[in-house]
Chains A and B, each alone.
Chain A
Amino acid sequence: MNLIPFLLVIPLAWALISLLLPRLPIGPIALLGMLVQSLATALLWRSVQLHGAERYAIGDWMAPLGITLVADGLTVTLLAITALIAMVCAFYALFYLRSHRHEARYFWPLFWFLLASLNGIWLAGDLFNLYVGLELVTFAAVGMVILSANRQTLAAGLRYLYMALLGSIGYLLGVALLYSAYGTLDMRQLAELIEPNWTTHVAMLSISLGLLVKTAIFPFHFWLPPAHGGALAPVSALLSALVVKSSFYILARLWLDVGADVLPVITAQGFGLIGACAIFYGGFKALQQDEIKMLVAYSTVAQLGYLMLVFPLAAGTAPEHSMLAWQGGMLHVLAHALAKSAMFLSVGTLVLAVGSKKIDALAGISTRIPLSLFAFGLAGVSLMGLPPSGGFNAKWLMLQSAIGSGQWHWVVVLSLGSLLTATYIFKVFRVSFDQQAIDSGKGLVKRAPWGMELSALFLAGLAIALGFAAALPVELLSLPEVESSLMEASQ
């Protein structure tokens, strides 16, 4: 039995249930659904690990008119991290939404639609499905941003929606040009046909610009902080951890998998340059914020910059350095997803406990609500890239690749970026460990529900644990090659 369609059918079924039957206890039902979804994901993971990549044609309609879904090593890794983070966020939301009754009504359907469309992107095997997935992710994500429906979140949602729509037009234009040149949308066929000519370059430029806008890479980052900083805590966690990664995933797949031979070195270095700008600009802006959620949102802008460094390190370098960069980049996707979702969840708890979003309001809370602050700190360790953590392993692999390929300027960027991250993380700690505030009895807080504190701590723990278990996803990443060599053997 092929498990691939279930990963889309389960979330869509649950979305319909939560939309049409709001009188049922949809929160606990969602948790049950997440268990089913995680089980299906785990089974697919196991099967891909044992037998290599799998393909599934929906309704037995073959490409080009049919829709082909592909599950390879990278896909199942992303499916697993999506299911994991979504499950923890759902658990957190059970507690968090008690004080947000109105939002809870629409949170759950959108949550499931978001999950279905994210899985659709990870599983898509052709360019047009990726487009549809991108749009569906945008609709669900914008819907979740504007859940509170006040002036600020509506403005942030509109800004997000407009930029995302512009990005998808750019992507679609590139897809149209690629189809007119090569007559196929299938990524595997395209990888064999694609050659460096003007049509390819214009198409890839259009696609890249569109996806950079959607990924909020500097200088197209301006829509992200208000949208991610203004949303509800579990929404921010999902958006920063998973949604921005979906468009980066397409960018990486297209350039490094499909178009590896047509990526000019100058373009790759340019991607690295805007990544470096994002790291420094995002870091400085994070340092200047006086609202804790905006600090974390700008931290996402900075951390997305690291992902862009994969391109100069992987393109035009020796295969072993290229492989290191690819593995480091994908590990960074996982590590950042875990750390940032943990950070947004713990910050959500802190904000709820002290009743204000200002960083100053956290004065002296280190003794009042230590568990959430500890989760924030653990996530910070991974973001800074301190050992042992997933973030450390990712940055270590990228550093090795940069040193090995002699690109010393990226070594400088990677190291200074970590220093900057440490600065803004410690800004929060300086306030919260303020001895005067502790002694004067400031920082008296409401009790936070245990489920919220534990969820953030669990994800932060996983971000650290990824430092020890990094071999598992890295090993799976090399599976696509296994599949293609099997294909050649059978032909």
Chain B
Amino acid sequence: MSANLWFALVGAGLIALAAFTFFVQTHLLRRIFAFNIMGSGVFLIMVGMAQHLRQTDPVPQALVLTGIVVAVSATALALLIFRRFYALSAAVTLTQDNDTLGDSYEQEPRQ
């Protein structure tokens, strides 16, 4: 078994674990973690399986770098919205309840 295949297998394992967590857990922070681990799994597959030319292929490396930047920004955005949501509702999970739209938002524009 080559090292590259090993990378890919570990990546697939990480994705499976994280996807399980993402669907089972309701805590929003845990789901952000799960998203990040899923991302790492995909990056492992990218650097692992995509090196099929017996030499280092620069394209997957560039993709993973870009992917990491995107994942970091996504995490930052999710954390920011979560903080604000937590401050307003003191809830750490999304329930049907806090999706119900109040009748008030059109009438009470924030000045």
Q: Which residues of A contact B (CB under 8 A)?
A: 64-65, 99-103, 128, 131-132, 135, 138-139, 142-143, 146, 148-159, 161-162, 165-166, 168-169, 172-173, 176-177, 179-180, 183, 185, 226, 229-230, 291, 293-294, 351-352, 355-358
B residues 25-74 in Cβ contact with A at 8 Å? 28, 31, 35, 38-39, 42, 45-46, 49-50, 52-53, 58-60, 62-63, 66-67, 70, 73-74
B74–A102 CB distance below 8 A:
no
A99 to B111 alpha-carbon distance, docked (Å):
8
B78–A176 CB distance below 8 A:
no
Given A139-B73, A159-B99, A183-B52, A166:B35 Cβ within 8 A:
yes
A177–B94 CB distance below 8 A:
no
Given A128-B63, A151-B88, A161:B81 Cβ within 8 A:
yes
* Residues from chain A with Cβ under 8 Å of B52 in the complex: 180, 183
A352 to B81 alpha-carbon distance, docked (Å):
27
B81–A157 CB distance below 8 A:
yes
B99–A357 CB distance below 8 A:
no
A154 to B50 alpha-carbon distance, docked (Å):
39
A155 to B73 alpha-carbon distance, docked (Å):
19
A291 to B49 alpha-carbon distance, docked (Å):
50
A294–B101 CB distance below 8 A:
yes
* Residues from chain B with Cβ under 8 Å of A100 in the complex: 109-110
A146 to B77 alpha-carbon distance, docked (Å):
11
- Complex A-B, nearest 9 residue pairs according to Cβ-Cβ distance, in ascending order: A180-B49, A155-B98, A154-B85, A102-B110, A176-B46, A180-B50, A226-B99, A151-B88, A100-B109
A157 to B101 alpha-carbon distance, docked (Å):
12
Minimum CB distance partner of A158 in chain B: B81
Q: Smallest distance from the beta carbon of A130 to chain B beta carbons, Å?
A: 12
Q: Which residues of B contact A (CB under 8 A)?
A: 15, 22, 28, 31, 35, 38-39, 42, 45-46, 49-50, 52-53, 58-60, 62-63, 66-67, 70, 73-74, 77-78, 81-82, 84-85, 88-89, 94, 98-103, 105-107, 109-111
A–B pairs, 22, beta carbons within 8 Å: A100-B110, A101-B110, A101-B111, A139-B73, A142-B77, A150-B102, A152-B105, A154-B84, A155-B85, A157-B81, A159-B94, A165-B74, A169-B42, A173-B45, A177-B45, A179-B60, A179-B63, A183-B52, A226-B99, A230-B105, A351-B106, A355-B106
B98–A153 CB distance below 8 A:
no
